[in-house]
Structure 1
C-alpha cells in the first residue's frame, strides 16, 4: 500500500537507530566495567570475575536512567525533516491517516512517498555505536597495560591509594623493600571463627586475626641461595624454593603473637616490619530489664520480662539463661537449676542480638516466698564464654508477712484506736469472704470504715516525715473552738489566723531519719494512700495488693531498726594479787635480738635512665666509650622486647636505635631525628615520677597486718 510505504520506511529506520544505540550502551558499560575491574585488581588485588557483576550493574543503571535507546517514530520523522531538505518538512504526513488529510496534504504526501525510498540511511544512526566501539578499544588497551605494569611502579603509585582507602595515615613512611625483591604477595587466611575470606596484600606489614595463617610468596630478580624470616630477633623461619631457578620462595606461618620481623636474603637484612594481632574479644552482655533485684508483690502478675543485648566481634554461637530456684528456708532450703533457651536462632554469623524472654514464674514452679536467681551465658565462635551478673526475682510471701515473729515488742505504746496494717488486711479479706452474705449497704459501710482506719494509720506514720496533723478533723469540740460564728470572737486575730492558715507539725523529727529510711517510708505512705482510695471507693479487692506491699515495706523498716547484741557469759578466774605478786621466775627471759640483712634494691630502669643521658651526649656530638656503648646495647635489648609486645608503639624507635648503634663511632653521622625518636620511647618506658610533696597514706591497722605476716613467715622457717 502506498499509504503505509512511507511509515514502514520510517519505522525500519527507527528500529535500526534504537538497536544501534542499545549496542553502544552495552559497549560503554562493558568498557567501564573492564577498566574499573582492572584498576581494582591493581590497587586492591580484586579478582577479575568482578567484571561480571559490575557490568550488569552498569548496564542496569544506564538502561533505566538513560534515554539513548528510547527513540520514537515521530522523533525519527522530525530528524529526517532536518537532515533531508528535499522532504520539505513533510515526513510526518506519512504517519497520519488518509481520511484526516486535505487535498493539498495528500498531494504533498504522495511526493514524500516517492522520495523516501531513494534516500540513503543517515550516518547519525551509527555515530554513537562507532564512538562506543572506539571507547571500548581504548579501555581494553589501558586495562591490558595496567595489568602488565611492573611491581615497583604499582607499589610506588598505587600503594598510597590503597593505604589511604584502608584508613592509614597518608603521611606514614612507606616500606623499604630490598632491591633484590622484584615482587611479593602476602596471603592472609583468617581462622574459621571469624567467618572472613582470604585476602592478599603487597606489603610486609601484617595486621591479622589471632590464629590466622600468613603465606609469603617472594619473587627475586636473581637467583638467591637462602631466604628466611627473623621474628622478634630470635625466631628464624626459612623459606622454601618453589622453582629450579631459586627466584620464587614460599612459606606459611600461623600468627598468634604480635611483634616484628625482618627478611634475610643471603645475609642482607631488611628493615623491621610490624606484626599486629587482632585479638578476639569475648561476648558482651547488657541486661536492660528487670532490675538486679525485683520483688513481685501480692496481686501483681507472676511474670517478669527479660530484655538483653548481646554483641561480639565475629558472631555468637550460643546463649541461654541459667536459672536457679531457691525454695524453703534455713536447713530445709532446696535449689533447682535449669537452662532456659531464647527463641532466637544463633547461627554464628550475626554479631548483635536484641533478645527478650518472658519468665513465667508460675510455670517454673515457684511459690510465694521462693527466689529466682538467673544469669545469661553467651558463647562466641571462638568458644569464649561470658556470664552476666546474677539477677534476683522473688515472690513476696504474704503468709510470712502476717506472722507476728519479729513484730512483738515488750513495750506497746500504740493507742488502741489505731489498727495495724496487718489487721486492716485481715478484715479486708474477711469482708471479701462475706461479700455474698451481707447487704450492699453493709459492704460499703465496712469498706469505708476500713479506709478510714487506713487513713489514721497513714497519718500516724506520716508524723515521722513532718506531714500535716489531721488528728482533730471531725472533732466537734475542736471545730467549736476555732469557729468564727461566735460574736465574742469578732476581731480576734489569733482565731482568724488559726482558722484560715495551714498549720504543720514540727519537721525536725524527720531529720533524725536517714535518706534511705525516708524514701522507704514515703513509699509506704504512697501504698497506704492507694489502699485507702480503693477502700473508700468500695473496691477492697483492688486495695489488697497495695496493703500487702505497705506491710512488707513496714516490716523491712522495723527489721532495719532492730539492734542485735550478743550475749556474753564469760567467767573470769578470781585474782589473788597478794599471793602472786612479785613471785614469778624471770631467769628464762632474755633480751630480744633481731638481726636482719638489708640489700640495696636494684633499679630495673637504671640502664634506661643512663641511656637518656648518653643519647643527649650523642646529640651534642660527643663520642662514647666502650662501657657507654654497652649500656646503649642493653637498652636496645629492652626496647626490642617492648616492641615485640607493642610493635605499633615501639617499632619505629627500635629501627632508629639500630641506626644509632650502626653509627655509634661516628656521632656526626647520627641524625637528630633518630635520637629524638628513641628518647620519646625511653620516656614511655620509664615509670612516672612521684610528685612531691604529697600526703603519705597510712594503713588503718598501722602496719599490724604486715608485721603479723612477717612474724608468721619467720616461725614457719
Structure 2
C-alpha cells in the first residue's frame, strides 16, 4: 500500500468526524445571525448574511480539515497504540533506504496495523458545545420571530371617503388603510394613513388594505397612465404593495369598469435632498497667512434631511512656485464628524511643515461629504477655501502714470506640462498604434498652439501666423492689408515727436495692454514664440520626439523673461469718436441712425396648452362639448419636469375627459393651464405723454414761447 493510500484510509474517519463537529457547531450561529438580519433589515440582508456565513464556514472547514495529514497520523498512532512502539514513521519510509532491522520492524508494524480500525482515531462528538450552541440559537431565532415589528402591527381600517353612489350588485370601497414603511436609512417610523392621498419619502414601501361591499371579484389599483396593480385577497380584505419610486395618480377600481368612476387619489414622492455644506471658519473664501502662523484649521458644517455620513474626505491641493515653476500636489485625507447625525461638524488641523506649504504658495481645501441614503449615497463637494502665503516678490505700485506688475501672468504655466506630455507620449510609442500615437501628438500640438497664441498677445498679435525672418526684403515690409491697424498717418512730420516719426516711416505696434516691453524682453518673447511654432508643427505632424528640442528651448527663453524685474504697462483710456462742435444745439439729425430696437416674435412651445385654454373659455374658439385633449396630455408628459404641479394638471385633464359637461372641472383645468403656460417676456412701455408743465417746456424749446 502506498503512503498516500495509507494516509487517506486512516485519516478519513477522523476528517469526516471533524467536519461534522464543526458544521453542527457553526450552523446554529450562522442561522441565528441570518434570522436576526432578516427581521431587522429585511429578506435581502438576511439572505446576504446567510450566504456570507456559509462561505466563511466552508473556508474554515477546509482549513481545519487540512490538519489531518501525515504528521497528525504518525502522532496519533504513536500516542494511541502501544504496539506501534513509537515507530509509526517507518510506515511511510522508503524501503530502499532502510536497514535490515528497520525493514523487519516496518513489516511488524504493518502486521500490527491490520489488527486495528481507522475509526478508533476519530475524535469524540462535541456534544456539550453543540447542544449549547443549538439551544442559544433556537432561543435567539424564536425571539426574533416572535418579537413584534412595526410591519406586523394589526391594520385598522378607516371608512372610505370616495362618496360614490351605491349601485345594486356593484362592489364599492367601504374600508381603507395605507401603510407607509419608509426606508431604513431615514430613521422614520412606520405609519398608517386613513386616507389614500399621502406624501411619503421616495423609496418607501406602500401597503394598501381595502375592503369592499359586496365582495369584489377582481379589484385593482389603476394608475392614471393605465397600468394596474393587482390586489390579492387576505381573509376578508384585499391587499397590494409597491415601492414608491415616483409620484403618481391612481384610483381604486372595485368593479372592473362597472358602476361610477372612482375618484383619483394622489401619492407624492418626497425625494431625498443632497447634503448641504457650509463653511463655518474662515468666513472668507480667500485668506492670507499671518505672521507667525504655522497651522490652519478650516471648519465645515454638513446638514441633511435624514442624516450625514460619519466620515468625509478633505481634498487638499497645494500649489507652490511662480511662473513656469509651479508644482501642484493633491491629496485626500479622511475626516470624522462630530455632532448629531443631521448636523455634523468636520474640521482638520493642517500643519504647514507637514504639507510642505511655504511662501509663494496656495493651499486649497475642499470638503467632500455624503449622506446615508441606501442604496446610492449622494455625494456633494463644498466650496473651496484658499489660504495664500504671499512671497517676498510682491507686485509693486507707485504714483507713476503706469502700473507695475510681474513679468508674466500666472496662467502662463503650461509649457512645462507640454514637455512632460510629449516625453510621456514618446516613452509609450511602442505600446500605441500609429494612428493613436499621431492623434495624441496632434492634441498636444493644439495645446501648444493655444499657449503660443497667449504669448503672442505680448507682441501685438504679430506672431499668430508663421514667424517671419528679420530680413529687409520686400516681403517683410508692412502693407495696408497685413492684418492689423496701422493707425492714421500724419499730414506732415513734426520734429522731435516720436509718434509723428512712427506715423511717417512706419506704424506703432505698442497698442496691446501688455506690450510695453523693453526691446530685450520683446526679443526673448519673440524667440520663445518662434520655438513654440516649430514645436507645434512637429507635434501636429505626429513627431513629438522632434518637437521636444524646440519646446525645451521655448521654456528656456520663458525662464529668461521671468528673470526680468518688471514691466511697465501703459494706462490707456477709452477711445471715443470725436465730437463735431458745429452740430451742437442745432437740432440737425441727418446721419443719426435710429435707436429703435427691432422686435422679434417670441417662439413659445405651449401651443397645445394655449389651444386647450381657449377651447375651455367663452371666446369665439370655445368648444361647448367634449374637448380634444390628446395633444395636451402628450405635452404634459413631455414637459412635466418644468410644470408647477404636473399631477394636478393630469388629474384635471382626466376629470374633463370623463365628464365634458362639468363646468367646475372645465374651470379648474383652465385655471391650471394658465399657470402652466410660459410667461411672456417684458414688453416695451411707451413713454407717458407730457403733462402741462412738460408741454410748456417742449413748446419753449420749439420757439413757441
TM band (smaller chain):
0.3 to 0.5
* Bigger radius of gyration: 1
Q: Which structure has more helix as a fraction of its residues? A: 1
TM-score (norm 1): 0.41
TM-score (norm 2): 0.42
